[in-house]
Amino acid sequence: FNIDSFDSVDQIVTGCASCTKMLRDYPTILTDPAYSEKAKQFSKKVVHISELAAKDRYFKVAPLPGKKTKVTYHSSCHLRAAGVSREPRELLRNNPNIEYVEMEYADRCAGGAGTFCIKNPEQSEAIFERKRRAIEASGAEIVATSCPACMMQLKNGLKGKVEVKHIAELLQ
């Protein structure tokens, strides 16, 4: 259905790391000869908004009001698995109103992992604790990420001590 529905478009832009990963994985899932070639073509159309913004100079990182804001980036597991890691950081580094700081363990899971945090709350909390310490040690006022599920985990775990924003919220 998705392949047929998006056949006429040139690009499919997502704001969700998990969707980016899944849509790019269609060729490995849809192996039926009737759709295997279409699945390959479909997956090439899928782009995360941070990739689009980093290559298309139409987008800019939105200036934040006031002084330079210290921002760090949590790299979601699904977006890294989809091959996207450099672009969100590049967007943040290129904003003259942001002091970008790479936190320790930026590329490690925050412990949400879909329903993992619901099925294994103690383990999830222990995993998040490492992330929380890294965020606090960075001194960041904002943690940006590219994954709505990670945003929920970060917001729940940080309890308002550090603001959490999707990378798209920092674009204009």
**Cα→Cα distances 56→24, 31, 33, 115, 134, Å:** 20, 33, 35, 34, 31
For position 65, what pLDDT does the model report? 63
Task: Give the mean pLDDT of 39-66.
Answer: 80
pLDDT at 41 over 90: yes
Are 37 and 108 in contact, with CB atoms under 8 Å apart? Answer: no
Residue range 67-91, pLDDT digits in tens: 788 999 999 989 998 999 999 999 8
Long-range contacts of 80-86 (CB under 8 A, 24+ apart): 80/107, 81/21, 82/17, 82/20, 82/21, 82/24, 82/48, 83/24, 84/17, 84/20, 84/48, 84/50, 84/51, 84/146, 86/54
Instruction: Tell me the pLDDT tens digit for each residue of 93-126.
Output: 888 788 999 999 999 888 787 777 778 788 888 8
- pLDDT, residue 74, reads 96
The pTM is what?
0.87
Using the predicted structure, report yes or no on whether residue 18 has a pLDDT greater than 60: yes
Q: pLDDT at position 166, please?
A: 94
pLDDT at position 172 is 61
